[in-house]
Amino acid sequence: MDEARPECDTTRSGFVALVGRPNVGKSTLLNALVGQKIVATSSRPQTTRHRILGIVTRRCEQLVFIDLPGLHTRQPHLINRAMNTVAIGSMQDADVLAVMVDATRWTPDDDFVLQQVRESGRPVVLLLNKVDRMKDRRQLLPMIAELRERFGTDDIVPLSALRGDNLQAVAEALIRHLPEGSFLFPEDEVTDKSLKFIIAELIREKIFVLTNREVPYSTAVHIERYEDRGDLVHIDALIWVERKSHKKIIIGSGGRLIKEIGIRARQDIENLLGKKVHLQLWVKVRKDWQDDLRSLREIGIEQ
């Protein structure tokens, strides 16, 4: 019995690594389980760049999710290799892997995921996401049978992270793999990252949603000032871009695009803080930062 929780016969807690190729819905699931938007999601692959903890505390269990960059085989920049290294390394820290696949698409990157999962030797719960998009639900059973063979696990949960369908079953399946023990984090904590980090991610998410091709990947966001003046928070954020041409695109004609990024980001930040926010965005060219180790360290991506 945990002395801090006399109502529980046993308490369980541990780490769950969210593993999968880019764009399968790992971060969407994390936000849904935590019940708050703490990580960026978008329809573009490689939205997540950092290892971010999302903590879900229930009455007698605490699941500490590790949201990770999607594993990918095309790695044109240092940042891509660093993201994969972080993801593969983090699998070893987990009590169980929540391996996510997309019910509507299997790609060569999924084969890479399968290989890494097998090599890790960690216990696996397979999450079959986006079932809301399946045209024919009768395909679900044969698909589950095939995945059972491939991943060598009977723990397979179909779900829709976007709609919030079957999240309870996801949590239950993962909890069975967690060791007995006291909670690892205070019960009101939802992440290990600072408020500044989350704010930078919310801004970066808007850039991912509102720009195309190589432009979102050329950007990183750094919070230069965070000043809480009681009922109003002043935030200055700097957006790095790799090229002058990208700067022009981010600003947009007559400053329209940067204004839109600011409006959307401010709404999310106000929701997060529960306060009014004054957000000022700046854009600066930082040539080839995706291949510069020092820049990667500055935004917290370590190899």
Ligand X SMILES: Nc1nc2c(ncn2[C@@H]2O[C@H](COP(=O)(O)OP(=O)(O)OP(=O)(O)O)[C@@H](O)[C@H]2O)c(=O)[nH]1
Q: Given the rule CB under 6 A, which residues bind ligand X?
A: 20, 22-28, 41-43, 45-48, 69-70, 129-130, 132-133, 160-162
Residue 7: C-alpha distances to residues 59, 177, 188, 191, 221 (Å): 9, 21, 18, 25, 44
Q: How far apart are CB 257 and Mg ion at their closest, in Å?
A: 23
From CA 215, how far away is CA 223, in angstroms rounded?
20
Q: How far apart are CB 229 and ligand X at their closest, in Å?
A: 33
Q: Toward ligand X, which CB reaches closer, 43 or 212?
A: 43
Do 114 and 106 contact (CB within 8 A), yes or no?
no
Q: Which residue is nearest to ligand X (CB)?
A: 70
Do 293 and 78 contact (CB within 8 A), yes or no?
yes
Sequential DSSP letters for 22-47: TTSSHHHHHHHHHTS--S---SSS--
User: Among 18-26, 88-96, 138-146, 199-207, which window interacts with Mg ion (CB under 5 A)?
Assistant: 18-26
Binding to Mg ion by residue 11, rule CB under 5 A? no
Residue with tokens 């529960």: 274
Beta bridge partners of 236: 225, 280
Out of 11, 13, 23, 27, point to the residue binding Mg ion (CB under 5 A): 27
Contacts of 95 (CB under 8 A, 6+ apart): 14, 15, 16, 123, 177, 178, 179
Q: How far apart are CB 84 and Mg ion at their closest, in Å?
A: 14
Q: Toward ligand X, which CB reaches closer, 124 or 235?
A: 124
User: Among 43-51, 98-106, 220-228, 230-238, which window interacts with Mg ion (CB under 5 A)?
Assistant: 43-51
E-only strand ranges, the chain: 12-19, 52-57, 61-67, 96-102, 124-129, 156-158, 220-228, 232-241, 276-285
Q: How far apart are CB 149 and Mg ion at their closest, in Å?
A: 27
In the list ligand X, Mg ion, none, the entry touching 166 (Cβ below 5 to 8 angstroms by class) is none
In the list Mg ion, ligand X, none, the entry touching 28 (Cβ below 5 to 8 angstroms by class) is ligand X
In the list ligand X, Mg ion, none, the entry touching 216 (Cβ below 5 to 8 angstroms by class) is none
* Residues lying near Mg ion in the complex (CB under 5 A): 26-27, 47-48
